[in-house]
């Protein structure tokens, strides 16, 4: 995994609590209460900090600990809106709330494109990836009105084939039908010690799967659901398109081998 620019990593100190305000959530195993969209969480303080940040999991807000804005929060707060918070905005922050989800999706695509371009085997599409990176970056630099009007579905439709091609080139040395598990239902699967090198696990449901000691080097994990998956001792060194929120939703320990750009979750 390449070095990821710091502006694609969340910096909560420079954000106006957008992830605590814009999304809606319902009382469940992930959230202790219901919260409507565009309404600040009851735990959001006046300084835009979380009042229970160090106790989110024990207080029933596990969902907050697995959310990643990819740096969109500080970009919208400090760049798009020039440091003016939504509480002081004439429209009550509605335009900022419109922009945040779009920026978040664009930043996620920038993360994947950055990683794809760094894959040595993806050199045949390096030029296309570079152009996609530049164009997506240009979209993030627009004014609020233009950002709110971005058709993120269309952008994804342009970028996703490039990401898939880069993944295919990187995984070309690992064939076999058993490793084509795109979108597969692997909930609770017994995959302890499995050789999953180069596997296509895009969008696979790996909820609660036993992946202890599994070899996931160069496995494509974009969109894979790893909630509760047991990654103790697993090797994720060169896993493709693995992101922090997937790790945060899984279980692991000190023996889990991670890509250098990602952090070992505190709750492991």
- The 10s digit of each residue's pLDDT in 178-236 is 689 999 999 999 999 999 999 999 999 999 999 999 999 999 999 999 999 999 999 99
The last residue of one of the domains, among 116, 147, 170, is 170
Instruction: Classify residue 153: in a domain, yes or no.
Output: yes
| Distance of alpha carbon 15 from alpha carbon 19, whole angstroms | 9
pLDDT digits (tens, 9 = 90+) for 40-96: 999 999 999 999 999 999 999 999 999 999 999 999 999 999 999 999 999 999 999
Question: Looking at residue 195, which CATH number applies to its domain?
Answer: 2.160.20.80
Q: Which helix (H) or strand (E) holds 155?
A: helix 152-170
194 and 261 inside one domain: yes
Token pair 């597969």 in the structure block, residue? 184
Q: Is the pLDDT of residue 177 over 60?
A: yes
| 145 and 210 belong to one structural domain | no
Residues 166 and 230 in one domain: no
Q: In whole angstroms, give the CA distance from residue 226 to residue 245.
A: 9
Residues 15 and 147 in one domain: yes
| Percent of the chain surpassing pLDDT 70 | 97
Residue 129 shares a structural domain with residue 15: yes
Structure confidence at residue 3 as a pLDDT band (50, 70, 90): low
- CA torsion sign for 265, 212, 111, 101 is negative
- The verdict on residue 38 lying in a domain is no
Q: Which residues of 90-117 are buried (b: 16+ CB within 10 A; e: fewer)?
A: eeebebbbbbbbbbbbbbbbbbbbbbbb
Tokens at 164, concatenated: 């898939």
Residue 52 lies in a domain: no
Distances (CA, A) of 59 to 53, 56, 187, 251: 10, 5, 27, 19
8 A C-beta contact, residue 236 and residue 258:
yes
Residue 34 lies in a domain: no
Q: What's the pLDDT score for residue 4? A: 75
Answer yes or no: is 29 within a domain.
no
Q: 3-state class of 98 per DSSP?
A: helix
Q: Roughly what angle, to the nearest 10 degrees, separates helices 94-118 and 152-170?
A: 20
- What's the pLDDT score for residue 179? 87
Domain termination residue (choose one: 170, 204, 239)? 170
Q: What is the pLDDT of residue 263?
A: 92
| Residue 178: per-residue pLDDT | 65
Same domain? 125 vs 235: no
Q: Is the pLDDT of residue 33 over 70?
A: yes
**Greater pLDDT, 177 or 183:** 183
Closest CA to 160 of 125, 196, 206, 204: 125
Q: Mind listing the pLDDT tens digit for each residue in 143-152? A: 999 999 999 9
Across residues 161-166, what is the average pLDDT?
Answer: 97
- What is the structure's pLDDT at 134? 97
* Residues 185, 93 share a domain: no
CA angle 250, 196, 236 (to 5 degrees): 45
**258 and 210 in a common domain:** yes
What confidence tier does 130 reach under pLDDT thresholds 50, 70, 90? very high
End-to-end CA distance of the chain: give it in Å, rounded: 21
- The last residue of one of the domains, among 109, 135, 170, is 170
Give the chain's domain count.
2
In angstroms, the CA 90 to CA 141 distance is: 22
Whose tokens are 């596990």? That residue is: 62
Structural domain harbouring 198? 176-268
Mean of all residue pLDDT scores within the chain? 95
Question: What does the alpha-carbon distance between residue 124 and residue 169 come to, in Å, rounded to a whole number?
Answer: 9
Could you tell me if 16 and 149 lie in one domain?
yes
Q: Does one domain contain both 76 and 128?
A: yes
- Tell whether 180 and 222 lie within a shared domain: yes
At 241 the pLDDT is: 97
């Amino acid at each position: 995994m390449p070095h990821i620019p710091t502006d694609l990593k969340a910096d909560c100190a420079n954000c106006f609590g957008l992830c605590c305000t814009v999304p809606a959530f319902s009382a469940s195993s992930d959230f202790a209460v219901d919260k409507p969209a565009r309404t600040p969480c009851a735990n959001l303080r006046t300084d835009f900090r979380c009042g229970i940040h160090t106790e989110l999991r024990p207080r029933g807000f596990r969902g907050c600990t697995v959310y990643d804005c990819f740096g969109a929060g500080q970009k919208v707060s400090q760049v798009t809106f020039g440091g003016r918070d939504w509480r002081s905005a004439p429209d009550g922050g509605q335009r900022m709330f419109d922009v945040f989800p779009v920026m978040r999706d664009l930043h996620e695509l920038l993360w994947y494109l950055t990683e794809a371009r760094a894959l040595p085997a993806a050199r045949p599409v390096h030029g296309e990836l570079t152009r996609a990176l530049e164009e997506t970056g240009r979209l993030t630099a627009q004014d609020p009105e233009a950002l709110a009007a971005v058709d993120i579905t269309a952008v994804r439709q342009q970028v996703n084939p490039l990401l898939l091609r880069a993944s295919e080139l990187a995984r070309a040395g690992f064939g076999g039908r058993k490793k084509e598990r795109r979108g597969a239902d692997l909930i609770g699967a017994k995959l302890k010690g499995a050789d999953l090198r180069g596997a296509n696990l895009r969008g696979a449901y790996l909820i609660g799967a036993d992946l202890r000691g599994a070899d996931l080097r160069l496995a494509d994990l974009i969109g894979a659901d790893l909630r509760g998956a047991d990654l103790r001792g697993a090797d994720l060194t060169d896993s493709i398109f693995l992101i922090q929120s997937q790790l945060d939703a899984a279980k692991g320990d000190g023996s889990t081998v991670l890509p250098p750009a990602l952090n070992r979750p505190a709750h492991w």
